[in-house]
């Protein structure tokens, strides 16, 4: 923790991948834990042990009356009921910040607690935390990331100091753009993984399990180049070169053994064509030919 900064007493609700990683990282920066509450007592206990907290429970009523921050890291569908239950508790909210880590909700979902005096915000780590990876992996993965913040000015400085303790930085997201922001996260992470799943599927038909590793440099370079010069300039391949014939051959091959991948191939082909068109790389005739090949049944 930076010199002169206040140590916070933080209570966590939802001791899953995200909640545990944040609680552990903040504990290591000198913040203390007021309580850990989770769906199952075993998850609460496991996280509490890591943050040296004696107060853990499967019930929200176990929250102490005084804490500086209540961090809600439950799945999305439990946030609303958690807020309703919190609202009924005898907590001096006028001295408490309440935040959640959901990517899709803004701070609006926490508004009932604002009526009790709480300062509210949403703070979403722009990172992925698969369940089956160890806590240490998740804690390390927090280094240097950005956090999508939605909230009022009165919460911003607290969020900024937490994020700076976590070694990250804040991305301020306008309330009304929160769902678009989350769409960007889903495309960047979940759908990229889904796309790599398609790559795995294709490789598995001609190579053994470590096959995807042979494509590692190709995958990394594509991402690095895109981050370096943007998607339009980073695009290579048959669509960027205007080869309708290659697209036709690809679709014929998919028709034989991987029919499930045809809609994905067509959709991504059209997206690639949009990028190539914006770059003015292709003649109108070539664009028409590729569109025709991609849409052919």
Ligand X SMILES: NC(=O)c1ccc[n+]([C@@H]2O[C@H](COP(=O)([O-])OP(=O)(O)OC[C@H]3O[C@@H](n4cnc5c(N)ncnc54)[C@H](OP(=O)(O)O)[C@@H]3O)[C@@H](O)[C@H]2O)c1
Residues that bind ligand X (CB under 6 A): 13-19, 37-40, 43, 73-76, 78, 82, 101-103, 124-125, 128-129, 131
CB of 44 to ligand X, least distance (A): 6
If the CB atoms of residues 18 and 251 are measured against ligand X, the closer one turns out to be 18
If the CB atoms of residues 57 and 277 are measured against ligand X, the closer one turns out to be 57
If the CB atoms of residues 112 and 238 are measured against ligand X, the closer one turns out to be 112
Q: Which residue has the tokens 């916070």?
A: 8
Q: How many CA atoms lie within 13 A of 291 on its CB side?
A: 10
If the CB atoms of residues 77 and 94 are measured against ligand X, the closer one turns out to be 77
CB of 40 to ligand X, least distance (A): 4
Measured CA distances, 155 to 2, 63, 122, 164 (Å):
19, 21, 10, 14
Question: How deeply is 140 buried, as exposed, middle or buried, from its count of CB atoms within 10 A (0-12, 13-18, 19+)?
Answer: exposed
CB of 213 to ligand X, least distance (A): 23
Residue 277's nearest CA partner among 264, 266, 288 is 288
If the CB atoms of residues 40 and 288 are measured against ligand X, the closer one turns out to be 40
Supply φ then ψ for residue 125, to 5 degrees: -65, 125
Q: What SS3 state is found at 213?
A: helix
CB of 16 to ligand X, least distance (A): 2
Q: What SS3 state is found at 83?
A: helix
Residue 235's nearest CA partner among 280, 266, 289 is 280
CB of 267 to ligand X, least distance (A): 24
């Amino acid at each position: 923790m930076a010199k002169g900064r206040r140590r916070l007493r933080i209570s966590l609700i939802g001791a899953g991948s995200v909640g545990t990683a944040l609680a552990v990282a903040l504990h290591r920066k000198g913040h203390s834990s007021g309580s850990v509450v989770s769906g199952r007592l075993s998850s609460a206990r496991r996280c509490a042990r890591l943050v040296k907290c004696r107060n853990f429970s499967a019930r929200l009523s176990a929250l102490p009356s005084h804490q500086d921050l209540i961090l809600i890291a439950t799945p999305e569908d439990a946030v609303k009921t958690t807020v309703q239950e919190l609202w009924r508790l005898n907590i001096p909210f006028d001295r408490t910040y309440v935040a959640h880590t959901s990517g899709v909700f803004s701070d609006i979902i926490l508004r009932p607690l604002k009526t009790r005096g709480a300062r509210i915000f949403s703070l979403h780590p722009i990172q992925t935390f698969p369940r089956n990876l160890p806590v240490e992996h998740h804690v390390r993965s927090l280094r240097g990331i950005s956090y999508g913040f939605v909230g009022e000015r009165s919460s911003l400085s607290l969020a900024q100091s937490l994020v700076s303790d976590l070694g990250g930085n804040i991305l301020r997201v306008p309330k009304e753009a929160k769902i678009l922001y989350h769409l960007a996260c889903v495309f960047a992470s979940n759908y990229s993984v889904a796309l790599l799943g398609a790559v795995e599927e294709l490789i598995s038909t001609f190579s053994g399990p470590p096959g995807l590793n042979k494509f590692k440099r190709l995958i990394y370079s594509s991402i690095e180049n895109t981050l370096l010069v943007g998607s339009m300039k980073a695009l290579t391949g048959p669509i960027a070169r205007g080869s309708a014939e290659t697209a036709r051959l690809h679709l014929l091959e998919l028709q034989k053994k991987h029919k499930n991948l045809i809609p994905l191939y067509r959709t991504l082909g059209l997206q690639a064509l949009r990028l190539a068109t914006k770059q003015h790389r292709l003649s109108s005739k070539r664009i028409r030919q590729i569109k025709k090949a991609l849409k052919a049944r």
